[in-house]
Structure 1
């Protein structure tokens, strides 16, 4: 899992090694040339699959559980938009709220089945 400062050019050129199913590239403040770059966000990652699909992911911890959620495809989202989404989700986490609460279907969780 390489750490690199994500840019739109790097996202475009990123690929998955042939011996792996997927590769994760994590956003990091130090660029490939060794310069320290401002704007990197902890928890932002780029997932590249063996078939060439690319998506941004957010890795975080909520209630003691490590979670990783897909933010969106790189075709519909830029690196700047992904960083902004991670910052907004981190603010919700710091406030003690689950950023994916609106996606959870509570009816299904508490649904009783009888056989």
Structure 2
């Protein structure tokens, strides 16, 4: 589920892109995608496990990611597209709590870098 939400955020679904008032400090969409890959479970081969982890990830971080994306797009406009080349990975979800803690730290940094808060 988060993969769908995050993907929609990256293409600007439901958010009117503003004219950028200043250059963006980087590509938020790209940074969010790679920072969230382990914690969200989006790259797992086991789609049932991936769906459970994505739902848990969305409950914990979804509203913050949506808010950050809206602020970023209002301030800088939509990020340029980027290409993701990946394959699925085997996993048990065992490290998901650690991955979520690590993403929490990364998201705080992205909020400061892109959202100004």
Q: Which has the higher contact order (CA 8 A, sep 6+)?
A: 2
Fold shared, TM-score > 0.5 on shorter chain: no
Structure whose CA Rg is larger = 1
TM range (shorter): under 0.3
Q: What TM-score results when the alignment is normalised by the length of structure 2?
A: 0.28
Q: What TM-score results when the alignment is normalised by the length of structure 1?
A: 0.28
